Amino acid sequence: MKTLSKIGIMATMACSLFLASCASEGYVVEQPVEPVYVRPVAPYANAYWVPGEWVYTGRRYVYRNGYYVRPRANRVYVKGNWYRGQRGYVWRRGHWR
């Protein structure tokens, strides 16, 4: 009886560790819908609008609104996007290239 309870406890721990490792990587089953919001007026001339992105908080994705920045010389901003991994969708952050 003790052996069965130990096996049950170990199986429960293994399942919880597996689920925690999946969650820590930030996979989602479906792509979330981007919220609609009004883009504010540019604060200065030649300001570049960086589109909003999804940020993984350790438990779930939350949407961060876009913002204005000064453009970087000889660089292009690559917008973030969802890509399908083996376990679901993962957000690939935007970056300057």
Residue 44 per-residue DSSP state: S
Neighbour count for residue 59 (Cβ, 10 Å): 9
**pLDDT tens digits, 51-95:** 999 999 988 999 999 999 999 999 999 999 999 988 899 999 999
Instruction: Quote the CA–CA distance of 62 and 52 in Å, as a whole number.
Output: 11
- The answer to whether 5 and 36 have CB atoms below 8 angstroms apart is no
Q: Which pTM does this prediction carry?
A: 0.66
**What average pLDDT score do residues 16-33 get?**
60
Question: Is the CA virtual torsion 19, 21, 24, 27 positive or negative?
Answer: negative
Instruction: Calculate the CA 33 to chain-centre distance.
Output: 13
